[in-house]
């Protein structure tokens, strides 16, 4: 055991020493983050007339969230907006050590996704903290989904969020599908309906040889199919593709840094572009199929965000949205021949309109 470990062990056994040790440790880390996180932010604020922060971007394993941040970065740069990115990890560090208000008076852009409400309570808590501690900022919540449920806990949390959000004088929210829009429009002062950012990407231009099927299904609390229905679906695919069925996931087994974001996304897009068919109940499994021009069978999800976002692209003939797993062979036969050229122009136009308001 090292000297440092011995000191810690002694401190843990004594309440007073433990309190002193914790306080010293807190001060030490506060100084560290002041130097390595806060000072660079202050330097950026001093160097630009209208500082803009893109916050809550991912460093975790979910490529859907990374694709959202990637699309945001492309469109912001296209609009000539020079921004400073603060990931979710760094945002929590700012909040933990009392520096979150450093963003006040700047424009704050909160990363899009499915983060409003009680599904991800820590994220909602942070959203409230950002809004509360930066009262003089212009704040935009990029296209998001919302969920609070219908029980007492959900209603109580929703009322708290409404009070905090509506107390801010310059907060603007974007809903990425109609159900969330209707809920948010009734609750908040400034809301508009804007598609998921990832729809603005276009990865359909490369021609690759396609083979087999990618199985991109959830295995968590949002899982849609029962074991019996999943097995029935898989057997139909085996009858068509044999053993040329590969597992895929839009959530990796490892975290992805900002620096590796584009590389990992391109790798996943290429994986989709090499497949003849995607079968998925994941929102960004569907959207990745859309932007890569890949035939896709979308299994309706428990979450309304899936159907709501599908409505944006329901006219695409290479995306099939289903509620049951019958007659999969007929669905596949009805898909048009490759290649499929995805047209993202209307989505880019819609997002550009939203982004143009940021610099006003």
Own/partner long-range contacts of 308-313 (Cβ < 8 Å, ≥24 apart): 308/145, 308/176, 308/177, 308/178, 308/179, 308/180, 309/176, 309/177, 309/195, 309/196, 309/283, 310/286, 311/177, 311/178, 312/177, 312/195, 312/196, 312/199, 312/347, 313/199
d(CA 284, CA 63) in angstroms, rounded, equals 8
Own/partner long-range contacts of 41-50 (Cβ < 8 Å, ≥24 apart): 41/84, 41/86, 41/102, 41/103, 42/102, 44/84, 45/102, 45/106, 48/82, 50/106, 50/107, 50/359
What share of the chain has pLDDT > 90, as a percent?
Answer: 80
Mean pLDDT score across all residues of the chain: 91
Least confident window among 1-5, 89-93, 236-240? 1-5
Q: Looking at domain 213-343, what is its CATH homologous superfamily?
A: Glycogen Phosphorylase B; (3.40.50.2000)
Question: H or E segment at 65?
Answer: helix 63-78
253 has pLDDT over 80: yes
284 has pLDDT over 90: yes
Q: Summarize the confidence of residues 152-179 as an average pLDDT.
A: 97
Fold that domain 48-198+350-356 belongs to in CATH = Rossmann fold (3.40.50)
Q: What is the pLDDT of residues 187-203, one digit of tens each?
A: 999 999 999 999 999 99
Q: Summarize the confidence of residues 95-120 as an average pLDDT.
A: 95
Q: What is the pLDDT of residues 19-30, one digit of tens each?
A: 554 556 667 777
Phi, psi of 247 (to 5 degrees): -75, 140
Looking at residue 183, what is its pLDDT?
97
- Number of Cβ within a 10 Å radius of residue 10: 12
Tokens of 212: 């087999």
d(CA 355, CA 118) in angstroms, rounded, equals 27
Q: What is the pLDDT of residues 316-355, one digit of tens each?
A: 999 999 988 889 999 999 999 999 999 999 999 999 999 9
d(CA 356, CA 360) in angstroms, rounded, equals 7
pLDDT-based confidence at residue 118 (cuts at 50, 70, 90):
very high
Torsion of CA 297, 302, 308, 311, to 10 degrees: 20
What share of the chain has pLDDT > 70, as a percent?
Answer: 91
Where in the chain are all domains bearing CATH 3.40.50.2000?
A: 213-343
Q: What is the pLDDT of residues 49-101, one digit of tens each?
A: 999 999 999 999 999 999 999 999 999 999 999 999 999 999 999 999 999 99
Please state the separation of Cα 310 from the chain's center in Å.
16
Tokens 């006040």 found at: 104
Tokens 């890949």 found at: 294
Q: Summarize the confidence of residues 254-271 as an average pLDDT.
A: 98
What DSSP character marks residue 316?
A: -
Phi, psi of 46 (to 5 degrees): -70, -25
Tokens 């002041």 found at: 34
Q: What is the pLDDT of residues 288-302, one digit of tens each?
A: 999 999 999 999 887
Looking at residue 21, what is its pLDDT?
45
């Amino acid at each position: 055991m090292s000297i440092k470990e011995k000191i810690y062990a002694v401190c843990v056994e004594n309440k007073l020493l433990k309190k002193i040790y914790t306080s010293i440790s807190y001060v030490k880390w506060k100084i560290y983050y002041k130097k390595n996180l806060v000072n660079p932010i202050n330097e950026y604020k001093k160097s630009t007339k209208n500082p803009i922060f893109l916050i809550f971007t991912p460093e975790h394993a979910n490529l859907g969230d990374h694709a959202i941040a990637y699309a945001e970065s492309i469109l912001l740069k296209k609009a000539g907006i020079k921004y400073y990115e603060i990931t979710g990890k760094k945002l929590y560090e700012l909040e933990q050590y009392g520096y979150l208000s450093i963003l006040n008076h700047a424009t704050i852009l909160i990363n899009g996704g499915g983060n409003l409400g009680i599904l991800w309570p820590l994220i909602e808590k942070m959203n409230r903290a950002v809004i509360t501690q930066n009262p003089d900022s212009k704040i935009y919540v990029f296209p998001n989904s919302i969920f609070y449920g219908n029980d007492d806990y959900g209603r109580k949390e929703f009322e708290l969020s409404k009070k905090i959000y509506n107390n801010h004088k310059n907060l603007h929210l974007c809903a990425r599908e109609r159900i969330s829009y209707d809920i948010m429009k009734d609750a908040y002062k400034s809301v508009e309906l804007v598609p998921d950012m990832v729809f603005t990407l276009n990865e359909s231009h490369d021609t690759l040889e396609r083979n087999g099927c990618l199985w991109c299904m959830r295995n968590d609390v949002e899982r849609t199919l029962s074991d019996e229905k999943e097995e029935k679906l898989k057997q139909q695919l085996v009858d068509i593709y044999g053993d040329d069925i590969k597992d895929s996931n839009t959530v990796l087994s490892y975290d992805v840094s900002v620096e590796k974001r584009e590389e990992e996304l391109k790798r996943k897009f290429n994986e989709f572009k090499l497949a003849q068919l995607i079968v998925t109940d994941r929102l960004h499994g569907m959207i990745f199929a859309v932007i890569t021009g890949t035939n896709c069978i979308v299994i309706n999800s428990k979450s309304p965000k899936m159907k709501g976002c599908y409505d944006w692209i329901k006219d695409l003939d290479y995306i099939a949205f289903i509620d049951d797993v019958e007659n999969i062979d007929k669905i596949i036969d009805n898909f048009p021949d490759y290649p499929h050229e995805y047209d993202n122009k209307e989505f880019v136009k819609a997002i550009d309109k939203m982004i143009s308001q940021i610099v006003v």
